[in-house]
Chains A and B, each alone.
Chain A
Amino acid sequence: MKSLGTYLRWDTAVGILLIAVFLAGTSSTDGFASTGNMSAALNDTAEIALIALPMTLLVVAGQVDLSVASMLGLSSALAGSLWDAGYAFELIVPVCLLAGAAGGLLNGWLVTRVGLPPLAVTIGTLTLYRGLASVVLGDKAVAGFPDTYSRWASSTETVPGTFVPYPIALFAVLAVLAAVLLHMTGFGRSLYAIGAQEDAAWFAGIRVKRIKLALFVVSGLMASFAGIVYTLRYGSARADNGLGLELVVIASVLLGGVDFNGGKGTLGGAVAGVLLIGLLNNLLTLNDVANEIRVIVTGLLLIASVLAPRAVSALAERRSRRLAAAP
């Protein structure tokens, strides 16, 4: 007999919830569904969405990277300090990305070669990278980045004929790539195996360490890229840019039904989680709901996201037991 969980998966539920929030917003709030607002709402989630992609892969493989927001800040601080020193923006971008990859490499190296738990490692590098950001830029704020790039990142410039801002368009392309990678390739299968039973994956000839290392590098790379997007979008490079954002990213991914213990979850679910938090925030802001209520809603959603699937399966089990007891 099939459990109830087979019929209603949590990631589907989040997708439905997302549509419900959209419809509720459209009918209740003027201007919510306008293209201008949609562009802004989407673009506001750009960094979270971008970082959520490698984060989903990491969590499926039973890992986590808490240092992403600090890396975003470090990348922003680097960009600011180099721009301040008069370097060309075309040079700054690859330098930031290189720093991101290096930061990810350090995380991955400590996890795979030294054999430390990812949570402990990335709490450490969370502090380290944010600290380095302070060292690089202090408490200065650098502004005045070139217009061509700033426009690219803003929500008012959209892909011609659509309401999609460029960072989100890029995210969409990357999301499709990540989905294919996770769900249709051998690499994706390996991630699930590593997340569910690492030893068994290693004994099946999967290059566990190399894969984990690669994931951390990609995560660092993406975080530093998000740092550039953030800097351009707000037009300001600061060491404390994106402070605490790592928790929002993880909240979004888990809300989308990716199991924190690894081995379960879908990329679609994670994307739905990101968009749900983004849209909800936008909707509540439009309705002049205070920021604090939004924070509470995010927290409750997060708790619900881990509690609900378990409650559903517990209910299903109770029901099937009752069925079994009745001859």
Chain B
Amino acid sequence: MSATVQKTDPAPAAGDERSARSFVDLVFRARELSIGGALVLLILCTWIANPGFLDDQGVEDLLLNSSILVLLAVGQSVVVITRNIDLSVGSVVGLTAFACGDFVSGTDHSAFVVVLLGIALGTACGLVSGLLVSFGKVPALVVTLGMLYVIQGLDYWWAGGEQINAANLPDDVLSLGTGDVLGIPYLPLITAAVLAGTAYYLRSYTGGRELYAIGSNPEAARLAGIPIRRRVLGAYAFSGAIAGFAGALWLARFGTVVADAANGWELTVVSAVVVGGVAITGGVGSVWGAALGAALLTTIGSALVVLKVSSFWQQAITGVLLLAAITTDRIVQRRTTSALRKRRRP
């Protein structure tokens, strides 16, 4: 076909709106700021109540405990931003953790191979979900719920009651979970790298912006010529890859893996993402927020232990937090809309 592509020459205009832009950016960041603030406040209060919370071991525990959930939240938010959902992540983590363990038990494969295997397996799972959602045009919740069952079933079937033991794993793999750089364990470093990379892609690349566009108005995205199916498929593949990666890390961190590892995590991950300000209706939110949400949920768990509050409260608090987060978002949004409306005509 003949197509004349015309490039836009951006007019060299004055940057006088720049300050306005940073203000708007700030308003949009308000959600991340408030979750971050809550997190800092929680850590501070717990620390004051029990200084042991933030000693070397305490900090390391906090970082390690939240790493995997944060990682999964990053993957999930990419899917949720497109107005979809991936409920299969928990089962993918379980499957890959077991599969990787089964693969390396008694061998001396390197950690690199294990991670690669995990990512490959996870991507495959994500691709199946993605193909069903994008090309089968079926509701994401239903398909990924189905995938959850299928993958979980495969996992249990494969495991057949067996479990992976740390003793059989190569040291290289285990060191991935225990080693550190300058005192910072690998896991949080890896998570931070994935988080920063994803955030940068979502903000500064066409593909990333198109994910937001798809979630914001799918019909408009179609008319704007955005390759919706490919992007949604990509989002699922990414979420699957992350889940697979997390599975490999799970193996490295815990060493002992039973078939139902990460069972039920899908809803925790979705909660973290939503608490972090990613709208379940798509188009809104950032992976930074999602990561903070995940960190907050994990920290609450750790703080309860330190504060000697019965761990039975943890789930109830998470629920209240989630409801409070979405309710506040909604009320703020409503106030803003109503203020805009009233300002229109004095």
Given contacts A131-B316, A292-B157, A299-B146, contact A126 B280 (CB under 8 A): no
Q: Is B312 an interface residue (CB 8 A)?
A: yes
Q: Is A132 an interface residue (CB 8 A)?
A: yes
Q: Is A250 an interface residue (CB 8 A)?
A: yes
A131 touches B149 (CB 8 A): no
Given contacts A251-B145, A299-B147, A300-B150, contact A127 B132 (CB under 8 A): no
CB contact list, B129-176 vs A, under 8 A: 132, 136-139, 141-143, 145-157
Contacts of B85 in A (CB 8 A): 119
Report the separation of the CA atoms of residues A117 and B283 in the bound assembly, to the nearest whole angstrom.
Answer: 15
Q: Is A144 an interface residue (CB 8 A)?
A: no
Q: Is B287 an interface residue (CB 8 A)?
A: no
Contacts of B137 in A (CB 8 A): 310
Q: Is A172 an interface residue (CB 8 A)?
A: no
Contacts of A302 in B (CB 8 A): 142, 145-146, 149
CB contact list, A292-327 vs B, under 8 A: 292-303, 305-307, 310
CB distance from B321 to the nearest CB of A (A): 9
CB contact list, A89-138 vs B, under 8 A: 110, 114-117, 119-121, 123-132, 134-135, 138
> Given A117, A250, A298, A306, which contacts B138 in the complex, CB threshold below 8 Å?
A306
> Given B142, B155, B156, B310, which contacts A291 in the complex, CB threshold below 8 Å?
B156
Given contacts A292-B156, A296-B153, contact A124 B316 (CB under 8 A): no
- The residue among B136, B139, B316 with the most chain A CB atoms within 10 A of its own CB is B316
Contacts of A23 in B (CB 8 A): none
B145 touches A247 (CB 8 A): yes
> Given B136, B154, B274, which contacts A296 in the complex, CB threshold below 8 Å?
B154
Report the separation of the CA atoms of residues A127 and B327 in the bound assembly, to the nearest whole angstrom.
Answer: 16
CB distance from A297 to the nearest CB of B (A): 8
B323 touches A121 (CB 8 A): yes
CB distance from B142 to the nearest CB of A (A): 5
B139 touches A306 (CB 8 A): yes
Q: Is A261 an interface residue (CB 8 A)?
A: yes
* Number of interface residues, chain B, beta carbon within 8 A: 46
Contacts of A36 in B (CB 8 A): none
Contacts of B141 in A (CB 8 A): 119, 260
Report the separation of the CA atoms of residues A134 and B264 in the bound assembly, to the nearest whole angstrom.
Answer: 16
Q: Is B267 an interface residue (CB 8 A)?
A: yes
Q: Is A290 an interface residue (CB 8 A)?
A: yes
Question: Which residue of chain B lies nearest to A295 when distances are taken between CB atoms in the complex?
Answer: B153
Range class of the A interface residue count: 35 or more
**A76-93 near B? 1/0 per residue, CB < 8 Å:** 000000000000000000
CB distance from B143 to the nearest CB of A (A): 6
CB contact list, B226-274 vs A, under 8 A: 264, 267, 270-271, 274
Q: Is A46 an interface residue (CB 8 A)?
A: no
Q: Is A244 an interface residue (CB 8 A)?
A: yes
Report the separation of the CA atoms of residues A172 and B24 in the bound assembly, to the nearest whole angstrom.
Answer: 57
CB distance from A62 to the nearest CB of B (A): 12
Q: Is B314 an interface residue (CB 8 A)?
A: yes
A114 touches B327 (CB 8 A): yes
Looking at chain B's contact residues, the main secondary structure is helix
Q: Is A254 an interface residue (CB 8 A)?
A: yes
A247 touches B148 (CB 8 A): yes
Question: Which residue of chain A lies nearest to B274 when distances are taken between CB atoms in the complex?
Answer: A120
Q: Is B110 an interface residue (CB 8 A)?
A: no
> Given A130, A297, A300, which contacts B315 in the complex, CB threshold below 8 Å?
A130
Given contacts A123-B274, A124-B322, A131-B316, contact A293 B148 (CB under 8 A): no
B149 touches A296 (CB 8 A): yes
Contacts of B146 in A (CB 8 A): 251, 299-303, 306
Report the separation of the CA atoms of residues A291 and B150 in the bound assembly, to the nearest whole angstrom.
Answer: 12
Contacts of A254 in B (CB 8 A): 142
Contacts of B312 in A (CB 8 A): 131, 134-135, 138-139, 239
Report the separation of the CA atoms of residues A291 and B151 in the bound assembly, to the nearest whole angstrom.
Answer: 13
Contacts of B156 in A (CB 8 A): 290-292, 295
Report the separation of the CA atoms of residues A157 and B150 in the bound assembly, to the nearest whole angstrom.
Answer: 35
A260 touches B316 (CB 8 A): no
Q: Is B190 an interface residue (CB 8 A)?
A: no
Q: Is B326 an interface residue (CB 8 A)?
A: yes
Contacts of A124 in B (CB 8 A): 271, 274, 319, 322-323, 326
CB contact list, A244-297 vs B, under 8 A: 244, 247, 250-251, 254, 260-261, 290-297
CB distance from A99 to the nearest CB of B (A): 14
A299 touches B267 (CB 8 A): no
B319 touches A295 (CB 8 A): no
CB distance from A29 to the nearest CB of B (A): 21
B149 touches A128 (CB 8 A): no
Q: Is B203 an interface residue (CB 8 A)?
A: no
Contacts of B338 in A (CB 8 A): none
Q: Is B209 an interface residue (CB 8 A)?
A: no
B326 touches A120 (CB 8 A): yes
Question: Which residue of chain B lies nearest to A301 when distances are taken between CB atoms in the complex?
Answer: B146
CB distance from A32 to the nearest CB of B (A): 22
Given contacts A123-B270, A260-B141, contact A307 B136 (CB under 8 A): yes
Report the separation of the CA atoms of residues A140 and B314 in the bound assembly, to the nearest whole angstrom.
Answer: 17
B316 touches A116 (CB 8 A): no
A131 touches B313 (CB 8 A): yes
CB distance from A50 to the nearest CB of B (A): 21
> Given B136, B138, B149, which contacts A295 in the complex, CB threshold below 8 Å?
B149
B contacts, CB < 8 Å to A = 85, 132, 136-139, 141-143, 145-157, 264, 267, 270-271, 274, 280-281, 310, 312-320, 322-323, 326-327, 330-331, 334
What 6 pairs across the A-B complex have the smallest Cβ distances? A128-B319, A299-B149, A131-B316, A131-B315, A296-B153, A127-B319
Question: What would 9 more interface pairs be, CB under 8 Å, given A114-B331, A299-B148, A310-B136?
Answer: A110-B323, A123-B267, A124-B319, A124-B323, A251-B145, A292-B156, A293-B153, A300-B146, A306-B146
10 A-B pairs within 8 Å (CB atoms) are namely: A123-B267, A132-B316, A134-B315, A135-B310, A135-B313, A247-B145, A290-B157, A292-B155, A296-B154, A307-B136
